[in-house]
């Protein structure tokens, strides 16, 4: 009886091992009797929306060695040193290192060098495909595209975010060996092919991107600025047509040896950094007021209502002043349209205080502040918004004209696009579709509607008022002859250690055209310009140049009179 029980026990264990451990044991046996040389998969390419190549691959190879299979390390090191222009001593040290099964001797050598090594017939030395990444336009959209690591994996930007799409699955070359890694006599290597990555097609138009970079580089240089950014959105679905960050760097010459410089230059500040927007934020306050007026809120200011002509407002003991001295009748009898033209802070204090914190915070949420926009990109900041429960009246007053709140450039661009583009807010996009190498479409990225911030009527009223800002107000230098342009300037003081940094400003402009049927929005930011610093002087002309360039690129006819 005991013998029968033991027999059944051993039989059950045998069947269990056969059934459940089969794959694992096969893999262990294969690993024990073979050595693998990795074969990198072809990395997917990156194109702009017109099919222009922005990131591609050049054929390259990596050379490996298995020390136990090398018959004459000294001679092998000598020959390889000449073929690869490497140190013979270093190669010899690697070739005699028996502690590792596979050793990398050289990465990403050209095809000719790999073929030369093949002709040398060196025992224990192999090479496999390991393509090198290249970027035809060098620094164009460098912070957006990102770069790859030494191992060819995405390290930043879209290269990293879409690694699961671009990277593919690597293959292997398998060699039959004995237990110590020496090739078996007569054994034939087997090849397990990899699966190439897929291509991605961006929403970015390389022509608009190059235009925006050229314009911003002139401003960056002319004003000796600390930095400069720009965003161009298609207002129909918030797809990104251009995203500029200066200073930049060449993707084909990455400063990998200087990590501080690399981190600074590769950071996409339009997405990951925040700033106080200043007067460009008045677009949001005005939109909220107009919507409340249309909904019948008696506290809201009607468009024809005249603000107090006083230069100051005092809230919680804090006095807020207009940049103008209001003498000689300046800013007297202003309506909302004129307050936008004149960028008069006290008027926007009146608006936001009339609406109240609860109502205004509802609009801040509707416009997407305090949360990520949903861009397909890593490291997006959510901005800095005071908790509503801790909000003081003096804080609310300042938020109304763009202080005491910090936003990312992308958040502000999306909010402005919603405010001037019909009221709907979409998630911005950088990738339009994913394709196979032969061009077959695998996935199309559809626009995502996040909600409605204001009504179409309120949006149209606001855009009409912002046309006045460009036609006759602070945004005159963004005016484009023959086209209807709407927008708002901003000049914000910077803070350091909780205090105003003397002489440091952020100059900005956000606007759209054609204002009668909004299509393209541009946000321009120049950080710490020297000499001139008003947004009307520094940033507005940049927006005009960008709009003017888009007219030529997209062949947009003039607006009707």
The span from the CA of 154 to the CA of 152, in Å, is: 7
Per the listing, tokens 């350091």 go with 496
The span from the CA of 256 to the CA of 252, in Å, is: 11
Q: In what order do the strands lie in the sheet with 103-109?
A: 103-109, 61-65, 125-129
Residue 496 has phi, psi (to 5 degrees) of -135, 125
Per the listing, tokens 């005699």 go with 96
Instruction: Name the 3-class secondary structure at 357.
Output: helix
Q: Length of the chain, please?
A: 561
The span from the CA of 94 to the CA of 100, in Å, is: 9
H-run or E-run covering 201: strand 199-202
Give me the residues paired with residue 513 across strands: 520
Q: Is 279 a catalytic residue?
A: yes
Instruction: Name the 3-class secondary structure at 373.
Output: coil
Tokens of 333: 């009898």
User: Three-state secondary structure along 227-247?
Assistant: EEEEEEEECCCCEEEEEEEEC
Active-site annotation holder among 239, 248, 266, 279: 279
248 within 8 A of 139, measured Cβ to Cβ? yes
Torsion (CA) 55, 56, 61, 62 in degrees, nearest 10:
20
Residues 6+ apart with CB under 8 A from 512: 235, 416, 417, 420, 421, 463, 485, 486, 487, 518, 519, 520, 521, 522
The span from the CA of 302 to the CA of 288, in Å, is: 12
Q: Where are the beta strands (DSSP E) in 333-485?
A: 424-426, 431-435, 441-444, 449-452
Tokens of 502: 């003397």
H-run or E-run covering 26: helix 22-33
The span from the CA of 468 to the CA of 476, in Å, is: 9
Residues 6+ apart with CB under 8 A from 363: 284, 287, 288, 291, 355, 453, 454
DSSP state of 401: T
Whether the ω angle into residue 247 lies within 30 degrees of 0, i.e. cis, is yes
Residues 6+ apart with CB under 8 A from 236: 421, 519
Q: Count CB-CB contacts under 10 A for residue 33.
A: 15
Catalytic amino acids?
A: 279
């Amino acid at each position: 009886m005991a013998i029968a029980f033991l027999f059944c026990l051993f039989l059950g264990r045998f069947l269990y091992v056969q059934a459940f451990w089969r794959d694992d044991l096969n893999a262990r046996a294969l690993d024990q009797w073979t050595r693998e040389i990795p074969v990198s998969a072809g990395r997917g390419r990156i194109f702009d929306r017109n099919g222009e190549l922005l990131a591609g691959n050049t054929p390259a190879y990596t050379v490996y060695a298995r020390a136990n299979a090398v018959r004459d390390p000294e001679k092998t090191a000598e020959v390889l040193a000449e073929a690869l222009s490497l140190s013979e001593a270093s190669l010899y040290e690697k070739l005699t290192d028996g502690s590792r099964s596979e050793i990398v001797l050289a990465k990403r050598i050209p095809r000719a060098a790999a073929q030369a090594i093949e002709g040398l017939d060196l025992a224990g030395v192999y090479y496999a495909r390991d393509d090198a990444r290249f970027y035809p336009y060098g620094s164009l959209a460098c912070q957006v595209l990102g770069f790859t690591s030494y191992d060819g994996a995405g390290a930043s930007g879209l290269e990293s975010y879409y690694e699961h799409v671009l990277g593919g699955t690597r293959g292997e070359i398998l060699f039959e060996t004995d237990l110590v890694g020496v090739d078996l006599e007569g054994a034939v290597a087997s090849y397990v092919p990899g699966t190439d990555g897929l291509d991605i097609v961006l929403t970015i138009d390389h022509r608009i991107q190059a235009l925006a970079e050229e314009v911003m580089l002139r401003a960056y240089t002319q004003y000796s600025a600390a930095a400069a950014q720009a965003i161009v959105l298609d207002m129909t679905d918030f797809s990104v047509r251009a995203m500029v960050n200066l200073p930049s760097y060449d993707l084909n010459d990455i400063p990998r040896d200087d990590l501080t410089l690399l981190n600074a230059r590769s950071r996409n500040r339009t997405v990951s950094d925040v700033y106080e927007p200043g007067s460009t934020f008045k677009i949001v306050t005005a939109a909220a007021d107009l919507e409340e007026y249309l909904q019948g809120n008696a506290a809201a200011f009607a468009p024809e209502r005249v603000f107090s002509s006083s230069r100051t407002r005092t809230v919680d003991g804090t006095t807020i002043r207009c940049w103008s001295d209001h003498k000689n009748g300046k800013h007297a009898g202003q309506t909302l349209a004129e307050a936008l033209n004149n960028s008069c802070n006290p008027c926007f204090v009146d608006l936001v205080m009339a609406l109240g914190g609860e109502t205004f915070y509802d609009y801040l949420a509707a416009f997407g502040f305090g949360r990520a926009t949903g861009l397909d990109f890593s490291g997006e900041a959510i901005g800095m918004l005071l908790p509503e429960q801790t909000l003081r009246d003096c804080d609310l007053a300042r938020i109304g004209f763009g202080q005491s709140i910090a936003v990312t450039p992308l958040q502000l661009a999306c909010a402005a696009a919603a405010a001037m583009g019909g009221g709907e807010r979409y998630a911005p996009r950088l990738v339009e579709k994913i394709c196979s190498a032969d061009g077959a479409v695998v996935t199309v990225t559809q626009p995502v509607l996040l909600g409605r911030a204001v009504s179409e009527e309120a949006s149209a009223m606001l855009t009409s008022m912002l046309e006045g800002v460009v036609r006759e107000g602070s945004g005159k230098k963004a005016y484009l002859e023959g086209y209807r342009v709407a927008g708002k300037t901003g000049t914000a003081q910077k803070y350091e250690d909780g205090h105003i940094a003397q002489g440091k400003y952020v100059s900005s402009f956000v606007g759209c055209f054609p204002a009668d049927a909004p299509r393209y929005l541009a946000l321009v930011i120049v950080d710490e310009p020297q000499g001139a610093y008003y947004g009307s002087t520094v940033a507005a002309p940049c927006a005009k140049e960008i709009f003017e360039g888009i007219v030529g690129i997209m062949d947009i006819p003039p607006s009707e009179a």
